[in-house]
Amino acid sequence: MTTPPRRKKIYEGKAKILYEGPEPGTLIQYFKDDATAFNAQKKAILEGKGVINNRISEYVMTRLNTIGVHNHFIRRLNLREQLIKEVEIIPLEVCCRNIAAGSLSTRLGLPEGEQLPRSIIEFYYKKDELGDPLVTEEHITAFNWATTQEIDDMLAMTLRVNDFLSGLFGGVGITLVDFKVEFGRIYDGDFSRVILADEISPDSCRLWDSITSEKLDKDRFRRDMGDVIESYTEVARRLGIMKEMPTVIQGGVQ
């Protein structure tokens, strides 16, 4: 006899699952241990990753809420799950870069680690079949993925997230090289507004030790550098949020 599912699954992505929430307009976001890279050509299970990312994302989203960057986070429910507001996801990955790395370095031939003249925001169309291509505001408005007002709101919020995160991580000896965020619409009658959604964690940011430039993020997995969980744990430890989850360090968490 199989146990019936605890709750209805709404969506399953590469690193997270969304379940129906306890009340209308809410969802439960479950963080998996699955790690993927290069559009899931590379896959692994990293034990404890979901727990750490749930906690780091909770911390960052809560702090962002207090400075008025509205987001979907309501509260953490347990080690792997958080209650969130249901949004209509805008099909864009919004990437903000302070230092050249990754696909920007490859595309423009910039050495990794080169300081950019200013922060650069890019949009990628969220479409796995196409490998999330880089798009411009022209594509976004022409294909109705977002309005010009929504683009302005996303740009303004992304810059605020960048300023806030640069300071937060800078204060604990970590350089924010770049990060990716996603946004969603929340409806109030006929009106909608854009809020920050998804997650902010070492899966979605490039974080380098400010002194040694050691990578403390998902590039350790993408580039087979090892010590992925140890590095994510180090980020949580420096943020001062390790205390509540000692079992993760011991690797014994379900």
- Contact set with ligand ASP (CB under 6 A): 14, 36-40, 218, 222
Minimum separation from the CB atom of position 138 to ligand ASP (A):
24
Q: Which is nearer to ligand TMP, 182 or 234 (CB)?
A: 182
Residue 248 sits in the site that holds ligand TMP (CB under 6 A):
no
| Binding piece for ligand TMP, criterion CB under 6 A, among 155-163, 186-194, 203-211, 241-249 | 203-211
Note whether 215 binds ligand TMP by CB under 6 A: no
Question: What's the DSSP call for residue 71?
Answer: B
Distance CA 86, CA 93 (A): 18
How far apart, in whole angstroms, are the C-alpha atoms of residue 84 and residue 76? 9
Is there binding between residue 228 and ligand TMP (CB under 6 A)?
no
Among residues 84, 178, 202, 215, which is the contact residue for ligand TMP, using CB under 6 A? Answer: 178
- b vs e for 114-131, b when ≥16 Cβ sit within 10 Å of the residue's Cβ? eeeeebeebbbbeeeeee
The separation between CA 240 and the C-alpha centre of its own chain, rounded to angstroms, equals: 19
8-state DSSP, 42: E
The dihedral sign for the CA sequence 240, 57, 174, 231: positive
Taking CB within 5 to 8 Å according to partner kind, which of ligand TMP, ligand ASP, none is near residue 206? ligand TMP
Binding to ligand TMP by residue 166, rule CB under 6 A? no
**Among 98, 102, 79, which Cα is nearest to 169's?**
98
Considering beta carbons, is residue 45 or 142 the nearer one to ligand ASP? 45
Binding mask 50-89 toward ligand TMP (x if CB under 6 A, else -) reads ----------------------------------------
Which one of 68-76, 150-158, 164-172, 176-184 is the stretch in contact with ligand TMP (CB under 6 A)?
A: 176-184
**Smaller CB separation from ligand TMP, 29 or 204:** 204
- Give DSSP secondary structure letters for 183-207: EEEEEETTEEEEEEES--STTTEEE
Binding test (CB under 6 A) with ligand TMP, winner from 80, 180, 215, 220:
180
Distance separating alpha carbons of residues 165 and 83, to the nearest angstrom: 22
Contact call for residues 181 and 94 (beta carbons, < 8 A): yes
Residue of 165, 205, 228, 239 interacting with ligand TMP (CB under 6 A): 205
Between 35 and 229, CB nearer to ligand TMP? 35
Taking the least distance from each CB to ligand TMP, the nearer of 179 and 221 is 179
H helix count then E strand count, the chain: 7, 14
Question: By the 8 A CB rule, do 90 and 146 touch?
Answer: yes
Q: State which of positions 90-149 bind ligand TMP (CB under 6 A).
A: 95, 101-104, 132
The residues of the shown chain that bind ligand TMP, judged by CB under 6 A, are: 95, 101-104, 132, 178-180, 204-206
